[in-house]
Amino acid sequence: MYSFSSPGILKEAFDVTLARDGPKWLLVTPKGNGFLETRQLAHLNHSSETVTYSEAKRPCFWFDSDWDRQPQPWSDLLAALLAIEPKAPLKGTGRTQKMSAEVGGERKAVEVEVMLDEDELCKVCYYCGDFETDRLGAETYSKVNGDGFTSTYSCPACTALPLKARNAQRSKRTSQS
């Protein structure tokens, strides 16, 4: 998992990473932090979960984060992500489009290309929605289905469950969305 920090993201207080949960692109913490309510910090393609692919077969999405739609005192999240050194997780494609959402109204979204490989993303359990951690000694998530950027994963707890129980977890999770 590739993690990074930036003065423009919560004043570089801790590392963050990207995660893909189906069509949702998320900014999450690679480890749990006791003072945060959730490891998910931002939904990066809040207004449109349409994902396309570049010529290099990398995912592209419209960056319109719920983070930037809320009044925040600290930063422009896209600018902070594009400025990460030595390896920015996203790159602008040069395309823009108007997006509209209940919070924040209409605004210009920028199309971005994901510059991380699938194995550099934080994995999300397809069944329960938990995020993989990069804590030392933590078990890794196993691939359930798909290839590359369409892969789905299962956490160790869900993998240990019978298939019927895993599917019940998935149903519960998707009904809450």
Q: Is the pLDDT of residue 163 over 70?
A: yes
- Helices then strands, each counted (H, E), the chain: 4, 9
Model confidence at 13, pLDDT cuts 50, 70, 90, reads: low
Give dist(CA 27, CA 42) in Å, integer.
5
Phi, psi of 44 (to 5 degrees): -80, -25
Sign of CA dihedral 111, 68, 3, 173: negative
Rounded to two decimals, the pTM is 0.82
Q: What is the pLDDT of residues 103-158, one digit of tens each?
A: 556 778 899 999 999 989 999 999 999 988 877 778 889 999 988 888 999 999 99
CB 92 within 8 A of CB 82: yes
At 15-51, the pLDDT tens digits run: 788 999 988 999 888 776 655 556 778 888 877 878 8
pLDDT of residue 101 exceeding 70, the answer is no
CB 45 within 8 A of CB 69: no
Would you give the DSSP letter of residue 64? B
Amino acid 21 reads: D
Give the pLDDT mean for 89-100: 89
Q: Could you tell me where the beta strands, DSSP code E, fall in 115-151?
A: 142-145
Cβ atoms of 99 and 106 within 8 Å: the answer is yes
